[in-house]
Structure formats: C-alpha cells, structure tokens
Structure 1
Amino acid sequence: MSAPLVVSIPHKLGRDEAMRRLKGGLSRAAASVPVLTVDEERWEDNRMLFRVRALGQVASGQVEVADDHVRLEVVLPWLLQRFAQMAQLAIRDRGTKLLTKE
C-alpha cells in the first residue's frame, strides 16, 4: 500500500464556518469532473470520511477540519498514484478558493 496523499490548507474562518463551506463540497467538485464519482461522503463531528471512484479505481480518505486549517488525507490506488501531484495541486487550489471566498 502506498503512502497517503496529504494536503493541509490554512484558513481564518474558524471550525464551524469552514465545515459549513465544506459540507457537500466533494459532491459539487465531482459534478465538474466527469471521471469522478462520490461513493460516500459522511460527516462525524469535524471529520468527513469519503470514498470516491475515478477511472474505475476507488480512493478513500478523510478530511479533518480544525479552527485554523483543513487536513485532507487520501490513499490512492496504484493506477491513480501517477496523478497524485496533479490531484494535490487541484485539491489545494479548490480548497483555498472555498475557504477564502467571502
């Protein structure tokens, strides 16, 4: 098994506002990426557990929301690992826009 892809995004919103902005965000993001399907998006307190499918491969992970940052951790299957750097940049970009937009 490969090491997880980890992305940390700082914010100044506080935990509650950051969670409000993120809830449903995975499904909205998947709607704009034709090869991505959300199998699960489940919140437990300040942590979202998720499972997505892309190109027939399943990836799972979690998002933890803190007062000053959001930390995403996802384990990519071997076929998707070649896209890890591109995925990390896209996640950081979308997350930053979502957490800094007024």
Structure 2
Amino acid sequence: MSAPLVVSIPHRLGREEAARRLKTGLTRAATNVPMLKVDEERWDGDRMIFRVRAMGQAASGHVDVAEDHVTVEVVLPWLLQRFAEVAQAAIKSRGNLLLTKKS
C-alpha cells in the first residue's frame, strides 16, 4: 500500500460551518470532474469517509474537520500515484473554493 496523500486546508468558518459546506461539496465537486465518480460518502461525527473512482481505479480516504482547518487524507492506488501532485493541487484548490466562497 502506498503512503497517503495528505492535504491541510485552513479556514475561518468554525467546525460546524465547514462541515455543513463539505457535506454538500464532494458530490458536487465530482460532477465538475467527468472522470471522477463518488462510490461512498458517509459521515461519522466530524469525519467524512469516502471512496472515489477515477480511470477505473478506486481511491479511498477521509476528511477531518477541525475548528480552523480541514485535513484530507487519500490513499491512491499505484496506477494513480503518478498523478499525486495533480490530485493534491486539485484537492487544495477545490477545498479552498468551498471553504472560502461566501454561501
């Protein structure tokens, strides 16, 4: 198993508002990426556990929501490891949009 990809995204929303935005965010974000399909998204307190599929490969991970930041941890299959930097930038970019845009 490969090392997880970890992205930390700071925010000023507080835990509750950040979680509210994220609860609608993953599926909506996936619709903007045609080759990404959400297989699982479930919440356990302030942690979202997810599994997504891209290019026939499954990736799984979780999102932890804290008062001032969100941590995303994703385990990519070896075939998607070469896209780790691109995935990291995309996660950070979409996360920043979701957590900073006024709703």
Alignment partner, residue 25 of structure 1: 25
Distance between the aligned counterparts of 1:36 and 1:24, measured in 2? Answer: 16
Between the aligned partners of 1:14 and 1:68, the Cα distance in structure 2 is 6
> Residue 3 of structure 1 corresponds to which residue in structure 2?
3
Q: CA RMSD in A?
A: 0.6
Match for residue 65 of structure 1? 65
CA distance in 2: counterparts of 1:93 and 1:33, whole angstroms: 13
Give the share of equivalent positions with the same residue, in percent: 73
Shift of 1:51: 0.3
- CA–CA separation in structure 1 for the residues paired with 2:55 and 2:92: 21
Distance 2:48 2:86 in 1: 22
Q: TM-score, normalised by structure 1?
A: 0.98
Measured in 2, the distance between the counterparts of 1:77 and 1:99 equals 27
One-letter identity of the residue aligned with 2:17: E
Between the two proteins, the alignment pairs up a number of residues equal to 102
Deviations 1:45-96 (Å, cap 9, x if unpaired)? 1000000010110000000000000000000001111111001001101101
| CA distances 1:17-50 after superposition (whole Å, capped 9, x unpaired) | 0001110211111111111110000001100000
Superposed structure 1 runs of 4+ greater than 4 Å apart: none
